[in-house]
Amino acid sequence: MKRKINLWTSVLALVTCLVTFCATLAVSYQTAFHRMETETSRQAALVAAGLEEIKSLSQEMRMEYLVAVGKSDRSRVTLIDPDGTVIFDSNTDPDHMENHLERPEVQEAMQGGQGAAARTSSTLGHQTYYTAIQLSTGEILRLSNTTDIVMDDLQRAIPPLLLIILLVCGLSMWLAHQLTVRLVAPINTLNLEKPLENNIYEEFSPLLSKIHAQNLQIQQQIEILRRRQVEFEAITSNMSEGLIVLDDELRILSANSAAVRLMGAETRDWSGENLIVFSRDTTLSQKARAAVRGGKESLACENKEGAHLHLSLSPVDVEGAPRGCVLLIVDVSERYAAERSRREFTANVSHELKTPLTSISGYAEMVSLGLAKPDDVRGFAQKIHDEAGRLIALVDDIMKLSHLDESTPASLPFEPVELYALAYETTERLRRTAEEQNVEITLEGAPVTVRGVRRMLGEAVFNLCDNAIKYNRAGGRVTVSVGMSHGCACIKVADSGAGIASEDQPHIFERFYRADKSHSKTVGGTGLGLAIVKHVCEIHGASVRVESVLGQGSTFIVTFKPADR
């Protein structure tokens, strides 16, 4: 800006000086020309008066007078005969001069006594001013001056004029610089943070008001953006899913902590890094590139810890143009495991059903084909009955499990359940079975109430007690205890049976897992009893564990959460 003001002020000064210079020259020229006209006319009158004085003298003497005049003056002196013949000329030989009768100034003088004209001289070839006077002798006296005289005067005036112009220009530039510095100084020290506090030219007020308004607007927008950023971070940092926002160059704009954890990346700020640096997965980068181009992409992968991840990529469009994509990472390990266990369960169910059905079919075929001796038919019928009973028990347990699979705590009619009474009912139901097995069953403890589904809890306690009898020895004991332990309601079922090997203990709650296969089948086990117990406990927010020493017996402990008291 400073430079521009300086430049334009200097140009202005220069142009002004040049215009002044030209105008001065033009005016000077006009003045000098007019002065020359007046001077020539005055001299002509003087010379004419002189010639009138000496008209009685001889022609030679008159010529001498004219020669003397011609020498003493810059003007050209010409004497013309009334017939136009040039008698004398101070600059040229009259013999070589043409007739001057037709010259305008001569014609004018012959008619009115005096004449004047300005033109280019045919004799001298210069722009010339002529003035002519008719003498009493009839002759015409003509005096002329060329504009060269005027130009000479002007040329003398040019150097001082140019000097003056240079001085004026220099002074103007210096003044322009000083002025610019003074004008610009307050602008340079403007406080744009607080525009209204500036004490500067009035003309700046609208601009400063606008800057103030824009400052306020920007501050509001920054505040809105900051709040949104905080909201976004609060939401994403509490998400269990990983969320990564990428720009169109696959640079990370934001990655939440779940994304970093699930992808097994180093815990640090990944903003600005390329996706390939973050995950090293080329397939993911390719899919991300495709997503940026506008398509929805997804892929499944496993992280270093073996978790199954589902990654979905969605493009982000801003005003119709692709600007990046969003990567959502979901840990589907549980779903994956559930699907796998469902598949395994189905396979196991088929297998478990097939065994008794094959037996039933075999015995029935033998009886129907008459292959069985009449004495054996009764035994075969008993076997068919036993296998059918096993089938019924199996189907019964499968139905209970599938019902539990579909149940959620919210969908169930929870009510206060008194555990001691529940355990009493169960032990009473099993007392006969226990006696048949020569096992003594006792109940101890105190009433404890939990919130739950009575039928389901009864089922779980029944399964534990039933196992404790089934896997016991003749003359053994089963002790059921109900009470509080460390502030939590709990129920323990202890037996003096064969116990469970430590390598089997982590698996006995799995569906169809049998620690002792042959014994389980002999006692009519389905392999689903403890799975049902575990499921019931999960629904009630309780935990179940086993403490067992091989050969000494097992204790199953169900512990409810304190909130369930």
> SS3 of 47, please?
helix
Which has the closest alpha carbon to 466: 491, 414, 430? Answer: 430
Nearer to ligand ADP, 109 or 478 (CB): 478
Of these, 148, 516, 547, 564, which contacts ligand ADP (CB under 6 A)? 516
How many CB atoms are located within 10 Å of the residue 544 CB?
19
Q: Would you state the structure tokens that stand for residue 478, as one six-digit string?
A: 């089963």
Cβ-in-10-Å burial (0-12, 13-18, 19+) of 190 comes to middle
List binders of ligand ADP among 330-369 (CB under 6 A): none
The DSSP call for residue 96 is G
Of these, 255, 263, 508, 537, which contacts ligand ADP (CB under 6 A)? 508
- Scanning 167-175, 247-255, 416-424, 462-470 for contacts with ligand ADP by CB under 6 A, the matching segment is 462-470
CA 492 from centre of chain: 61
CA distances from 105 to 34, 73, 112, 132, 143 (A): 17, 21, 10, 6, 10
Asked if 324 interacts with ligand ADP (CB under 6 A), we say: no
CB of 355 to ligand ADP, least distance (A): 13
Asked if 471 interacts with ligand ADP (CB under 6 A), we say: yes
Nearer to ligand ADP, 32 or 515 (CB): 515
Nearer to ligand ADP, 426 or 463 (CB): 463
Instruction: Please list, in sequence order, all residues whose beta carbon lies within 8 angstroms of the beta carbon of residue 492, skipping any fewer than 6 positions away.
Output: 479, 480, 481, 555, 556, 557, 558
Of these, 288, 434, 500, 537, which contacts ligand ADP (CB under 6 A)? 500
Which has the closest alpha carbon to 307: 234, 233, 240? Answer: 240
Asked if 477 interacts with ligand ADP (CB under 6 A), we say: no
Of these, 528, 542, 544, 558, which contacts ligand ADP (CB under 6 A)? 528
Nearer to ligand ADP, 281 or 516 (CB): 516
List binders of ligand ADP among 142-201 (CB under 6 A): none
Of these, 132, 525, 536, 559, which contacts ligand ADP (CB under 6 A)? 525
- Give residue for tokens 């390939």: 276
Which has the closest alpha carbon to 565: 492, 491, 458, 487? Answer: 487
Q: Would you state the structure tokens that stand for residue 540, as one six-digit string?
A: 């009630």
CB of 528 to ligand ADP, least distance (A): 6
Instruction: Please list, in sequence order, all residues whose beta carbon lies within 8 angstroms of the beta carbon of residue 281, skipping any fewer than 6 positions away.
Output: 301
- Scanning 40-48, 86-94, 354-362, 514-522 for contacts with ligand ADP by CB under 6 A, the matching segment is 514-522
Distance CA 297, CA 291 (A): 6
CB of 411 to ligand ADP, least distance (A): 25
CB of 261 to ligand ADP, least distance (A): 36
Mode of pairing for the β-strands spanning 440-445 and 477-485: parallel
Residues 448 and 420: beta-carbon distance below 8 Å: yes
Of these, 236, 437, 496, 520, which contacts ligand ADP (CB under 6 A)? 520
Of these, 177, 514, 541, 543, which contacts ligand ADP (CB under 6 A)? 514
CB of 369 to ligand ADP, least distance (A): 34
- Scanning 110-118, 325-333, 370-378, 510-518 for contacts with ligand ADP by CB under 6 A, the matching segment is 510-518
CB of 468 to ligand ADP, least distance (A): 5
Phi (first) and psi of residue 91, to 5 degrees: -110, -30
Phi (first) and psi of residue 40, to 5 degrees: -60, -45
Contact set with ligand ADP (CB under 6 A): 463, 467-468, 471, 495, 497-498, 500, 508, 513-516, 520, 525-531, 554
